[in-house]
Every structure is written in C-alpha cells, then in structure tokens.
Amino acid sequence: MRVDLLGWLIFLFALLFSVMWHELGHFATAKRFGMKAIQFFVGFGPTLWSVRLGETEYGVKALPLGGFVKIIGMTSAEVVPPEDESRAFRRFPGWQRVIVLCAGSVMHFILAFFLIFGLALGVGIENDNSTQLGTVSACVPASVTALDNNSPCPAGAGKSPAGLAGLRVGDQITSFDGTKVSNYTQLTTAIKRVSAGTTVPLTVLRDGHSLTLHATLASVSGRPGGFLGIAGATIFQPASPVRAVTYAGSGFWQVLDGSVKAFGQIPAAVPDLFKSDRAHTPAGNVSSIVGVANATGQAVAAPVGWQDKVSFVLLLIASLNIFWGIFNLLPLLPLDGGHIAIVVYERIRSRIARRRRRHDPGLVDYMKVAPVMLSIFMVIVVFVVLVTVADIVNPVNIG
C-alpha cells in the first residue's frame, strides 16, 4: 500500500469517527432526557446492515460520508404518531433542547482536547531549543513557491549551499557567521541577515567533535536574504500529566482563536482559491475534506520521524474538530446553531407573550423558514464544491 494512501485512509477513518462522536453527543443527551431516538446510523444512502435494540435501530449505510441520529419531532412540521408525541423533541423544555443541540459540538471540543493531551503525554511536546539539522536540501529551488511546495529538484538545478559545504542530517550548528546560536529561531534569523553570494563560516558539532565549514549562500527568487538549504530536526519531550493538561488547554485556545479568525478570512479567500500563489493568500488556510486528506497523506509519506507524522496528524484532527464544533454552532439553518437560535427565539417570544398576558405563540413554523434554510444550505454547498475543486486542481502543498 502506498504510504500517502495510508494517510488518506487514516484521515477518512478519523473523519467518520469524529462525525459519529458528534452524533453520539446528540443521541446520549436525548436519551438522557427521555426523547425518542429511533435511528443511529453510520453513513448515508441504502442500508447495508442494521439491528434493533429496544426502540432504536443501529446500522451501517452504503455511503461512509458521515452519520446521523433520528430523534422524532425535531421540528413543528414533522408528523409524529399520537402515542409518541409526549417524547417528541419539540415537546421538551427549551433548556433541554438546547443541551441536545449543543452536545454535538461539545463532543468535538472534548475529542480535540484529549487528542492534544494524548499527544503531549504519549508523543511529547515539540522543543525548538536545538539547531540540529533534520533536512539538508539537495538543490537550490527555482522560486520561493517551489521552496514552499517542497518541489522536486529540476534537471540542472544547482546543489544547495548546505550540501556543497558538507552539512549532514544530524549536525548541530553552534555558530553561524561568528554568531553563536542555541535554537533554530536564532539560526534562521542569522541566515536572513546575510546576503546571497556571501561566504560565511559555520561551526558544527558532529559525533561529539567540533568542526568549521564554509558555505556560500544562494539566492532564491522572491525570497529576501540568502538561502542555505536546511531545516531543523524536531525534538519531542514527553510531558507529565499536569504539563500535558496545560499544554492541551493552551493548544485548544490557540486553535479556537485561529478557527474564529479563519471564518473571518473566508470571504477574502474565495477569489484566491485558484491563484498560483494560493498558499500565500487567505485561501491557503481554507480547505475541503479532499485538501485535508491530501495533507494527511503528505504528512504520513514525508521523510520525517514517526513523532513528526503522529504529531501533525493528531493536531490536524484536533484542529478540524474544533473548527467543526464552532461551525455547527453558527446561528444558521440547517446547522445545530440555527436550531438553537430558533429554540431561544421561541422561549423569548413565549416569555414576552406571558408578560403581556397573551396566548403562547408556541413553536416556530418551520415551513416558513424552509426557504431561508434551503438558501443557506445551497450557499454552503456551492462554497464546499468550490473549495473541493480548488483542492483538486490547485492544491496547497504542506512542504
């Protein structure tokens, strides 16, 4: 099996698990309050297998593109047998309906937190306090785009300055152009200060011995400063349970903040989806399932250590769960947040009517909001199709 195909399969499994984990939140809370859930299925389309346990049918459908839970009486328009009306979703208090609707997103957040926690505890936390080399480029890239996309060396490309200088993977650079460096950030800053064509001395620690090498920095079109052709090795340090909790909390809020900002970039991202420099525009931060699966495949196939691969995949899946959790809470139908907004509106309207000593207007007529729901759904579908096509014909390479 191709390694990148394995990455795709890992992502698709994670996607399916995340969706079912979301539905489990709705299902468990609905059952806890006494609502009647009659179906819990993996996938969509024709049923391949199912079994009935109690009042709920569990099964698998032909298209493994998600899953669903069927709770009776979700809207005022749904016809429910008279004997089941008391257990219909719409007949329960507003606060219980809101909890059931929020439970899917909460499950995404819980999963994301524990993925980051498990990463810190089992794999370790990335430590950049090192100048050890993890990669030595084979050639000088033709442009900054080729560099960012980790493009293969074209025929006739010149050897990288690092390769010409004799640098090797595993070397630790302790001094660059007379400046001592103790972490990779300091090293890259020192490299950027030197102009292309300049020859500089490097002090390297190799197999416990110190030696001095000389490198003449190259020029890369579109990139300021000189180019050496190295990448730092990633070093992971396992964390204690307490440190893992703080790391997971910090990582969760960073991703949450980034996801909120990503929503704000969506309007600006659409015009850039098919530009050649997409990776350097807001569209580089927007991706479909195809794009994320492709990134997972690239990560699994990359010539790096297993810790780098596992770290990237777990953080990617955690980030997606946080993004999906937020997205589902947007007050737009047919998302969970849209249904939450309707429940809140019903309760506010009911309270106002009560204070005015008027008849409770009851449930919102979903048939009246159906056109709005369909319009929003179509906008979402068009956007998803656009991003998916862009990820196929103009993918973003993670490098």
As annotated, the active-site residues are 23
Residues 6+ apart with CB under 8 A from 48: 59, 60, 61, 62
> Within 10 Å of residue 316's Cβ, how many Cβ atoms?
18
Q: Are the CB atoms for 373 and 333 separated by under 8 Å?
A: yes
Q: Which two tokens stand for residue 158?
A: 């010149």
Distance of CA 77 to the CA centre of its chain: 36
User: What totals of helices (H) and strands (E) does the chain contain, helices first?
Assistant: 10, 10
Q: What CA–CA distances, in Å, run from 184 to 23, 121, 161, 191, 274? A: 43, 24, 18, 11, 34
Q: Are the CB atoms for 62 and 108 separated by under 8 Å?
A: no
- Rounded CA gap, 334 and 256, in Å? 22
Residues 6+ apart with CB under 8 A from 90: 73, 74, 75, 76, 78, 97, 363
Q: Which two tokens stand for residue 33?
A: 């309050």
